[in-house]
Structure 1
Amino acid sequence: MERHTFLAVPIPYELQHQIHSYAEQINTILPLKKWTSPGDYHITLNFLGATSEDQAQQLVQNINHIKSDVHPFELTIDSVGVFGNPNTPRVCWLGVEQSSALTQLQQKTTKSCERAGFKTDDRPFRPHITLGKRWGGNAEITEQLPEPTQLTGSSWTVEEILLYEIHPQRVQKYVPYHRFHLGKED
C-alpha cells in the first residue's frame, strides 16, 4: 500500500503551544483557510509524496547510515513571513536563524532520498514552520503581521528527524512513521 510521506524536523511540544498562541493572534489579520494544528508544526527537509513500502524501508536504511554522523544542534525562531503576494499570501510561516547544521542535514537527507528512488525538489531549501495556508479573503490585507516577539529567540535542540505519513482527513494530519535519533547508532 502506498502512503504519502515527508522527512522533517519536529517542533517540541512546549514550543508548539507558544507557536499556536501566535498563530491565533495573526489569524484575525490573515484570512487563511487552513491553520496548522499544533501537533503538525515541523520544518520540512524533503517532501516525498507517494511512497511504496519498499521505498520507505530503503529510505529508513539510508537515513540510518547517515544519522550517526549528524549531531544534535540548536535552532532558533527569528522571523515571520509569507509566500506569495504579501497582500493575499498563499502561506504564512515562521522562520529560523541560518543554521549550517540544518542545511547540511537537509543535503544529506536529500541524497538519501535520491538513493531510495525519490525525485527531490531542486528549489533552494527555505526552512520554515508553516502556520497557515490557502488565502480565503475577499480583499487584500492592509495590516502588517506583528513580529513574533514572544517567539523570537526561542531555541530548541534538534535531536531527531521524523519520516511522517500524511493523513489529510485527520485533525493531526502528520503521523510519525519512523524516528531517527541524530548522533546515535541503532
Structure 2
Amino acid sequence: MEGGGLRLFFALPLPAPLREALGHWQQTGPPVRWSRTEGLHVTLAFLGDRPAEALPALDALASAVATRHAPFALCTAGLGGFPGNRRARILWLGLVPSPALESLARNLRGALAAAGEPFDAKPFRAHITLARLRQPGPLAAFPEPLPTPFAAGDLVLFESLAQGGYAPLRTWPLRRV
C-alpha cells in the first residue's frame, strides 16, 4: 500500500525450538517454496492493507483482548493442504483442537468486527503454513512431522514485508485479569 500503508495480521508466534524443528523437517521434504522458519506462526485474523494511523486503535483492541485470555498449550497435528489434500497449493501443519485457541480467535475477530475494523472473515482454521507449491499436487510426497507440544503466550500484530517475511510490530502477553 502506498503512502505509509502496512499489510497486517494478528497471529501467535511459534517458539524458537518448534521453528527450528520444523526447519529441519523442511529439509527432508521435496524442493518447494518453503515458508521461512523465522516467520512461522498461527494466523488469527488477517487485516490486509491498513494505514499506519490504524495502529493505535488496533493496539487498544488487542490489549483488551489479550487481558481476557491466559496462556495455553497447543500441539501440532497432521499435514493438510489448501484448497484440498489431493491438489494442494498450500501445505500446512494442523493443530490439535484447542478450545482456548478457538476462544482467542473468536474474541479477537469479534472485537475487530465490533470496532468496525476490516479483516478477512473466512472461517478460522488453525494451521501453520509450511510451503507454497508451484504445481498443485497430493501431500504424499511430504513426511509427517512429529506432533510437538508448545505454549501460546503472546498475541502479536505482524506486518508482511515487501521482500518477504514478517516483522512483529506489537506484542501483548496473554494474561487473564
Question: Is contact 1:59-1:112 (8 Å) kept?
Answer: no
SS in 2 for 1:51: strand
Matched ranges for 1:93-172 at <5 A: 93-133=92-132, 135-137=133-135, 140=137, 143-148=140-145, 151-152=146-147, 154-170=148-164
CA contact under 8 A between 1:8 and 1:162: conserved in structure 2? Answer: yes
Task: State percent identity of aligned pairs.
Answer: 27
Q: Deviations over 1:43-91 (max 9, x none)?
A: 0000001112232210110111121110000000111111125344210
**What is the Cα-based RMSD across aligned positions, in Å?**
2.0
More strand per residue:
2
Question: TM-score when scaled to structure 1?
Answer: 0.85
Q: Cα–Cα, structure 1 residues 140 and 107, in superposed 2: closer, same or farther, change >3 Å? A: closer
Aligned residue type for 1:164: F
Shift of 1:161: 1.2
- Which runs of 5 or more residues in structure 2 are unaligned? none
Structure 2 Cα separation of the partners of residues 86 and 65 of structure 1:
37
Which residue does the alignment assign to 1:181? 173
SS at match of 1:146: coil
Indicate whether 1:65 and 2:64 are aligned. yes
Give unmatched runs, 5+ long, in structure 1: none
Checking the alignment, whether the CA contact within 8 Å between 1:167 and 1:174 is kept in structure 2 is: yes
Q: What number of residue pairs does the alignment pair up?
A: 174
TM-score after normalising by structure 2: 0.89
**Aligned counterpart for 2:25 among listed residues 19, 22, 26:** 22
Query: Does the CA contact (< 8 Å) of 1:55 and 1:117 recur in 2?
Result: no
Secondary structure at the aligned position of 1:179 is classed as: strand
Q: Distance in 1 between matches of 2:163 and 2:150?
A: 30
Q: Measure the CA separation in 2 of the matches of 1:107 and 1:61.
A: 17
8 Å Cα contact 2:66-2:155 kept in structure 1:
no
Question: What displacement does 1:36 show?
Answer: 0.6
